[in-house]
Amino acid sequence: MNGILIIDKPQWYTSFDVVAKIRKTLGIKKVGHTGTLDPMTTGVLVVCVGEATKLVDVLTCEDKIYKTTIKLGIKTDTGDMAGNIEGVSYACGDDNLASQVDACRGDHWSPEKQHLSDLSKQKFTSNLEYVDSLHKKLNLSNEQIEKVISSFIGKQKQTPPMYSSIKVDGKKLYEYARRGERVELPKRDIEIFNISNIEYNGKDEISYTVHCSKGTYIRTLNEDIAKKLGTFGTTKVLRRIKTGQFKIDDSVDIDSISNEKIIPIEKLFENKIVLNSKDEKKLVNGMDIKVTNEDGIYNVYLEDKYVGICKVKDNNLKRYILV
């Protein structure tokens, strides 16, 4: 079977855990996901099966929508509640505090502060219990919060978190972090298209929905929002509700995986090209075929028979996946 599964990834599963379960359940070796979700994060994880694994790079480029909650007053080394606490402050509008945030970002990595996935749930629970036991409240207004959060809409440079899968000199950043090694963090171009549904619990949590470009780290965004409010902040909740055209409403539970839940490749793209039988040999041999269609990815048919996916660039059609 060739196609995709839209999985609602449960909390404390790694993306690889999901892939491994699908391989075992369906007995298929060619399985790959289209974008890593941290163990703490839940929601849409698009998994390609069979020949559809060739579409991983295409589907990874889609924009995303997340729901998230910031826990204010706390800073962790990972940018979420599953990390090690590096600072606690319930001051607001403190310029000195804002500078402290800059000063400590990336400066406190040690082997003792490893973010191991098997300890994530335990760390999350203990951190949350500790912070809630403080019974602290920040002096923030809804107007102030909305103004600060809305200021992040648009194109910008973002520094990714140290605990991320971005590679520097052939190694992932989290590998450096776990070894206590310092490395220069590369800034990346991102875009926040929209932020909505902003809610403040009147104490120390802000929730909102964000539509963003590929490569945006919500953990970093939440830290930066808190910094602009003059305090610390870390991610308490992160749920991906849409990636590209794939929505959480269309997802399946990881325990409900079956061949019947696989969406065929043909259903993934709306545009189509119909070729004549004389083009079959060129298609099979991987030769370019001249077409008048715009650049893009198309379902391709030989007369009335579906044959797979092709790419069009500069009026040249080239095979991509044949089924």
Give the residue numbers marked as catalytic. 38
Tell me how far apart the alpha carbons of residues 213 and 140 are, in angstroms, rounded to a whole number. 29
229: amino acid identity, one letter: L
Q: Which two tokens stand for residue 35?
A: 């974008």
Q: Give the HSE-up count for residue 248: Cα atoms under 13 Å, Cβ half-sphere.
A: 14
Segments of the chain assigned E as strands: 3-9, 31-33, 42-49, 64-72, 74-76, 85-88, 154-158, 167-168, 171-172, 188-200, 205-212, 233-243, 246-247, 252-253, 263-264, 272-275, 289-290, 296-302, 305-313, 316-322
From the list 208, 222, 246, the residue with the least C-alpha distance to 7 is 246
Q: Give the HSE-up count for residue 203: Cα atoms under 13 Å, Cβ half-sphere.
A: 8
Give start and end residues of each alpha helix (H) in 114-169: 117-133, 142-150
Tell me how far apart the alpha carbons of residues 251 and 269 are, in angstroms, rounded to a whole number. 18
Torsion of CA 139, 145, 147, 149, to 10 degrees: 140
Q: Give the HSE-up count for residue 301: Cα atoms under 13 Å, Cβ half-sphere.
A: 11
User: Are 37 and 45 within 8 A, CB to CB?
Assistant: yes
Tell me how far apart the alpha carbons of residues 270 and 293 are, in angstroms, rounded to a whole number. 14
